């Protein structure tokens, strides 16, 4: 896919941090190199800088760039992950 977004704030993700990690990795893999996916992540697991960002960096290394976009009024977080290769 080109640029797109994935909603990781639904009820199934609120209860399952591992599912957030799994589906974030799959979303990045589904994104064509040179494009990005916005990951909208539930606030229930705390700040994604503490668990999601390190896990993605460890999994993908320099194949991706991660940028914090915004924290929604509902408390969720939005990250833009650009796939380099």
Strand ranges (E), the chain: 4-8, 36-41, 64-71, 77-83
Task: Output the CA–CA distances (angstroms, integers) from residue 61 to 11, 34, 55, in the order listed.
Answer: 30, 15, 10
Residue 18 DSSP code: H
What digits encode the pLDDT tens for the residues 2-24?
A: 999 999 999 999 989 999 999 99
Structural domains in the chain, CATH included, are: 4-83 (3.30.110)
pTM of the predicted protein model: 0.94
pLDDT digits (tens, 9 = 90+) for 29-44: 999 999 999 999 999 9
Question: Is the model's pLDDT at 74 over the cut of 80?
Answer: no
């Amino acid at each position: 896919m080109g640029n797109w977004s994935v909603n990781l704030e639904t009820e199934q993700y609120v209860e399952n941090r591992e599912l957030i990690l799994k589906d974030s990795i799959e979303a990045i893999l589904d994104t064509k190199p040179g494009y990005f996916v916005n990951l909208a992540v539930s606030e229930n697991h705390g700040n994604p800088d503490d668990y999601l960002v390190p896990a993605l960096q460890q999994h993908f290394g320099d194949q991706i760039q991660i940028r914090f976009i915004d924290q929604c009024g509902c408390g969720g977080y939005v990250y833009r992950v650009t796939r380099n290769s």
